[in-house]
């Protein structure tokens, strides 16, 4: 597939990392300071870890499909289902939690910011790796085609 990929700007790369780290840190600090039982904290911790993995997997599989890489329907469906399940379980957990509405909103926003950050960071890494590989290949092709032929005297 012939596709043009722009190099991510340093500002977007930085913003992506800030979104991921700020969202995950805020979520985890809030969880650490929360007045919850340890099993409740574990539930919310596993949700963010599963959510981060699911969102990165979904971004990768969507990108694979766009680039023409074969993707099985079952894995594609599992990626979408995993992201939906994470968000659904967070919503159900927070709906039933004995927390102030502002705390519930805090967890939702930190969770979604983390997922966005993870997707953006993974996209940037993939774009930069793609460009690095193609620039390396282009450089090698250019170098080998411009080298003088080896002649014996």
Q: How confident is the model at residue 73 (pLDDT cuts 50, 70, 90)?
A: very high
**What gap in Å lies between CA 8 and CA 11, rounded to an integer?**
8
| Cβ proximity of 54 and 79 under 8 Å | yes
Q: Alpha helices, DSSP H only, in 3-100?
A: 10-33, 38-66, 73-96
| Cβ proximity of 67 and 103 under 8 Å | no
Q: What is the pTM assigned to this prediction? A: 0.81
Share of the chain above pLDDT 90, in %: 74
């Amino acid at each position: 597939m012939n596709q043009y990929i722009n190099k991510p700007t340093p500002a977007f790369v930085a913003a992506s990392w800030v979104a991921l780290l700020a969202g995950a840190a805020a979520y985890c600090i809030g969880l650490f300071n929360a007045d919850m039982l340890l099993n409740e904290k574990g539930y919310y911790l596993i949700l963010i870890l599963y959510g981060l993995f699911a969102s990165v997997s979904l971004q990768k599989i969507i990108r694979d499909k766009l680039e023409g890489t074969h993707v099985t329907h079952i894995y594609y469906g599992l990626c979408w289902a995993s992201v939906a399940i994470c968000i659904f379980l967070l919503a159900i957990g927070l709906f039933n939690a004995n927390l102030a509405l502002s705390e519930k909103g805090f967890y939702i926003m930190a969770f979604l910011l983390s997922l966005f950050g993870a997707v953006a960071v993974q996209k940037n890494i993939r774009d930069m790796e793609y460009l690095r590989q193609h620039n390396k290949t282009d450089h090698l092709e250019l170098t080998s085609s411009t080298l003088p032929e080896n002649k014996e005297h």
